[in-house]
Amino acid sequence: MNTMLKAFPADLLAKLKSREPLLWVNPRLGSVMPENSPTVADVLTAETRLARCAGLMSMLFDELQVSGGVIESELFEVARLQRAMGSVPEHDGTWFIKADHALPIAGSIKARGGFHEVLALAESIALAHGIFIQDGDRRHMACEPARALFARHTVTVGSTGNLGLSIGVIAAALGFKAVVHMSTDAKTWKKDRLRMRGVQVVEHDGDYAAAVEAGRTQALAAPLSHFVDDEQSLMLFLGYAAAARHLALQLAEAGRTVDASHPLFVYLPCGVGGAPGGITFGLKVLFGQHVHCFFAEPVASPCMLVQLASQQNLPLSVYDIGLDNRTEADGLAVGQASHLVSPLMAAQLSGVFTVSDEQLYADLLQVLEAEGIALEPSAAAGVGGPGWLTNSNAGRNYVNQHGLALAGATHIIWTTGGALVPKEEHRRFQDHARTIRAQSRPSSSHVD
């Protein structure tokens, strides 16, 4: 047995290996943050950057003119979904969806981190070449001299799909050469869409980590090349963290208080951990102990759970505990959690629950039938969150131990991708979900 597993709770290990869905509660929640963690000032810097680049963004993308260049998603109550899933607001608190599945341009949560990192890169190159002065207008980054400058630079990323889409699209729009490394099994439509935008797609055998590694090696060897590192990028992380401010405004507008008697629960699908980790970090800055963040991971790929439950900082992957990292949730199929993010989440994350692929499809169908929203499988991972909290022993213990009253609680299911997925692909997801449902129900024709 791997010596790293010695400290791993044996019963948890057995459950994880059997792929039994579970809620794991983080025993180190509230412990001290590691030294040289990102700071509140870092998050503010990211917010400011995104704000000052809004004018530029609306120049680059017609569809952003309505929002003045702001990349944001809606927050709305989902009473029908809550009722359909057997939950009562007066008793359990009120359910919302944070609709990052519909973020403009990139159609997924990756727009937040990805756009922020490429904008930061463009700013630093433009500034170094005197395109604008420190406090100048960022719309200058769309002018010809800036584009000619960016055209000499390459932006490279390794991605299963959505990060590649986000980075590829913004990099190409600014005039950079864009190269996306993907695993061979990444969805064809994503590769096609990128190639249509003038992005170079390089395919690799092996999993997501192999594609990232290949991208890193190539980018490091090339001059004027920037590698967007999903596994350890602070710029991605801070772009995600900047989501918290707007969410706080939306909560206030919806009349939702967040305080000791009105806890906020947030359920976030987790792949490598950057997106949900950044958002958790940003929300903790604003709401402290009154926000409770839970990650959702596939039963085959619970990489953040495995890393945090090992209670050490040495990397531990889902392969190390005998899982295969095979899931239909391609955005979440990650074997090893980000080493930048996991030490932060050790102190900030409330817990992780795992989801089977069958459940992802069932939840995808629930959201479609109750709310008319089409999600990709990864994006439905958070839907089971409120149920885990209110209907499981681990969840109820968490609520009791923290002395929380649920009646005034707000539950946010963060839906993370789907708007760019082609119609035929959505139909395949939904047909598959209906087939699973039909198989799991006794056939009514046999009732006598």
Ligand X SMILES: *Cc1c(COP(=O)(O)O)cnc(C)c1O
Task: Please provide the DSSP assignment of 233-267 as one string.
Answer: -HHHHHHHHTHHHHHHHHHHHTT---BTTB-EEEE
The answer to whether the CB of 43 falls within 8 A of the CB of 126 is no
Q: Tokens in use for 143?
A: 């002018």
Question: Residue 272: enclosing H or E segment and its boundaries?
Answer: none
CB of 30 within 8 A of CB of 347?
A: yes
Rounded Cα distance, 359 and 345, in Å: 25
Q: Quick one: 263 or 273, whose CB is closer to ligand X?
A: 273
CB contact at 8 A, 76 and 98: no
- Residue 79 Cβ, how far from ligand X at the closest point, in Å? 24
Tokens of 197: 């935008």
Judge whether 267 and 298 are in contact, CB under 8 Å.
no
Q: Give the nearest distance from C-beta 398 to ligand X in angstroms.
A: 22
CB of 108 to ligand X, least distance (A): 5
Quick one: 258 or 333, whose CB is closer to ligand X?
333
Task: Answer for the pair 382, 359: CB distance below 8 angstroms, yes or no.
Answer: no
Cβ-based nearer residue to ligand X, 58 or 160: 160
Long-range CB pairs of 317-322 (<8 Å, 24+ gap) are 320/2, 320/4, 320/5, 321/5, 321/8, 321/13, 321/16, 321/17, 322/17
C-alpha distances out from residue 398 to 73, 258, 266, 293, Å: 30, 18, 14, 12
Least Cβ distance, residue 3 to ligand X (angstroms): 28
How far apart are CB 418 and ligand X at their closest, in Å? 7
Q: Which is nearer to ligand X, 131 or 340 (CB)?
A: 340
Instruction: Select 38 or 273, whichever has its Cβ closest to ligand X.
Output: 273
Residues 6+ apart with CB under 8 A from 212: 158, 159, 181, 229, 230, 231
Contact footprint for ligand X (CB under 6 A)? 108-110, 162, 269-276, 331-332, 376, 378-379, 416-417
Whose Cβ is closer to ligand X: residue 272's or residue 362's?
272
Residue 334: CB minimum distance to ligand X, A:
6
Query: Cβ of residue 170: shortest distance to ligand X, in angstroms?
Result: 15
Q: In this complex, which beta carbon is closest to ligand X, that of residue 156 or of residue 233?
A: 233
The alpha carbon of 77 is separated from its chain's Cα centroid by a whole number of angstroms, namely 20
Considering the complex, state which of residue 87 and residue 162 has its C-beta at the smaller distance from ligand X. Answer: 162
Helix 274-287 and helix 234-241, axial crossing angle in degrees, nearest 10: 50
Q: Which is nearer to ligand X, 391 or 430 (CB)?
A: 430
- Under a CB-based contact definition with an 8 Å cutoff, are residues 240 and 219 in contact? no
Smallest separation (angstroms) from ligand X to the CB of 114:
10
Report in angstroms the alpha-carbon separations of 228 from 118, 239, 332.
8, 13, 18
Instruction: State both tokens at 257.
Output: 């208080």
Output the smallest distance, CB 140 to ligand X, in A. 31
The Cα 348–Cα 35 span in angstroms is 14
Based on the number of CB atoms within 10 Å of its own CB, is 401 exposed (0-12), middle (13-18) or buried (19 or more)? exposed
Residue whose Cβ sits closest to ligand X: 271
Structure tokens at 404: 């929380």
Quick one: 251 or 272, whose CB is closer to ligand X? 272
In angstroms, what is the minimal distance from the CB of 110 to ligand X?
5
Closer to ligand X by CB, 272 or 309: give it. 272
Count CB-CB contacts under 10 A for residue 437.
Answer: 13
To ligand X, the closest distance from the beta carbon of 326 in angstroms equals 17
Nearer to ligand X, 328 or 408 (CB): 328
CB of 405 to ligand X, least distance (A): 30
Phi, psi of 241 (to 5 degrees): -60, -30
**Phi then psi for 45, rounded to 5 degrees?**
-60, -40
